[in-house]
Amino acid sequence: MDSFLISPNGPLKGSVQISGAKNAVLPVMAAAMLADGVSKISNVPQLKDTKTMSDVLRVTGCRIKQNENDLSIDSSDINHLEAPYELVKTMRASFYVLGPLVAKFGKCRVSLPGGCAWGPRPVDLHLKGLEALGAKINVTHGYVEALCDGRLKGNTFSFPISSVGATANILMAATLAEGTSILQNSSIEPEITALANYLIEMGAEISGVGTRTLIVKGVEKLKPGNGQTIADRIEAGTFLAAAAITRGKVKVTAMVPEHQGALLEVFKNIGCEISIGENWVELDAENKELMPTHITTLPYPGFPTDMQAQLMAVLATVKGTSSVRDTIYNDRFKHVSELERLGAEISLKEDTAIINGGNELTGAQVMASDLRASAALVLAGLVAKGQTEISRIYHLDRGYENFEGKLSKLGAKLERVHKS
């Protein structure tokens, strides 16, 4: 298993180009199954998770070709309506095949995703939404079996809480249902808007895109899609956090500033200078005395839970008392004990971490536990005195394309060590 060796090397400087969004391309790959023929997706990041999703689609009979960042998915000959545990357990987003398969074929068998590093990840909203569209759901032996005589039936369904994954699954299923579906309290994350736009390009009839009420007029068939993956707002935020923690000056390009509202407010609140262009954001923290702050994660457009670990690392270097409350996953704090090994002073109280910032961080051996926790450890390693070794960085490879290459280009001193 690979590790990173990181040593401090001063403020990061320069510009970095952001890749396509993992959390946008994964549902769009599943959406390709709704059509017969070859769908194309560009600006696809080369990640462990996109490879896993390709493997899941291949198991069903899809033929996949990836040439650098261009992906084609031929879903003409799907003949195996199952997503096996071996793959689904490694990546929860595999569960996105449930909606498309039951909508198009009237049956499928998908493994339950199970939990993740920081706790349970239920799928009850996905199942309730499909039942509302007329699917018969049976959960047995760790698998979800979904059945439907003929087409799913359009219906009104209100999500009790905002769920990105459930919105994606039900939206995809509703596109082929008979009649109209009204999906209330849908998630409005940019990744859902991107999915809806891709489905419309495939011939789906969806209105209310970008709002919490999606109205889907079911159609009999969809044609293969063709679209570009939106920029990864979490990767962009992670590089802005790297500039802040090293007190550097970094321009993040090929991104969508409008997707970063809540995050940019936090960077400004702690004293970073933010400049914004059409498709770039520059963060300048050079020679700045940053201030503590209090963060609460919320569904979009609130502060994203996928950025709380990275900001916790930044706040550990800011003198004073800060706090990070995660209202989405109240146990997403696996990074806390590892940050403490690097000298951070953090106490946990239910869903809130209190950071007594300003201690000097010192290098240590730490272990990555999940994708964003790993990113937080890398950020801390950029400023911890001495060398930091981060093991199990396969977690990082799931969601950051060429992370070490992009960081090194900004002046970071890190190398990947291959360990058998």
Q: Is 251 in the site for ligand EPZ (CB under 6 A)?
A: no
Q: Is 125 in the site for ligand EPZ (CB under 6 A)?
A: yes
Q: Is 54 in the site for ligand EPZ (CB under 6 A)?
A: no
Q: Is 396 in the site for ligand EPZ (CB under 6 A)?
A: no
Residue selected from 56, 112, 123, 376 as contacting ligand EPZ according to rule CB under 6 A:
123
Q: Is 104 in the site for ligand EPZ (CB under 6 A)?
A: no
Q: Is 130 in the site for ligand EPZ (CB under 6 A)?
A: no
Q: Is 376 in the site for ligand EPZ (CB under 6 A)?
A: no
Q: Is 334 in the site for ligand EPZ (CB under 6 A)?
A: no
Q: Are 272 and 288 in contact (CB under 8 A)?
A: yes
| Position with the least CB separation from ligand EPZ | 165
Contacts by 358-361 with C-beta closer than 8 Å and gap 24+?
358/317, 358/318, 358/319, 358/320, 359/316, 360/385, 361/316, 361/317, 361/385
Catalytic residues: 116
Tell which residue, 294, 315, 329, has the closest CA to residue 376. 315
Beta strands in 75-171 (DSSP E): 82-83, 107-111, 136-140, 143-147, 156-158
- Residue 381 class from Cβ within 10 Å (0-12 exposed, 13-18 middle, 19+ buried)? buried
Facing residues of 296 across strands? 325
Lay out the sheet containing 13-17: strands in order across.
Answer: 13-17, 249-253, 280-284, 273-276
Q: Are 380 and 346 in contact (CB under 8 A)?
A: no
Q: Between 282 and 300, whose beta carbon lies closer to ligand EPZ?
A: 300
Stretch 200-239 residues interacting with ligand EPZ (CB under 6 A): none
Residues with Cβ < 8 Å from 116, sequence gap 6 or more? 92, 370
Q: Is 75 in the site for ligand EPZ (CB under 6 A)?
A: no
Shortest separation between residue 117's beta carbon and ligand EPZ, angstroms: 10
Stretch 4-33 residues interacting with ligand EPZ (CB under 6 A): 22-23, 26
Q: Between 318 and 379, whose beta carbon lies closer to ligand EPZ?
A: 379
Q: Is 256 in the site for ligand EPZ (CB under 6 A)?
A: no
**Interface contacts to ligand EPZ, rule CB under 6 A:** 22-23, 26, 92-93, 121-126, 161, 163-166, 305-306, 328-329, 371-372, 399
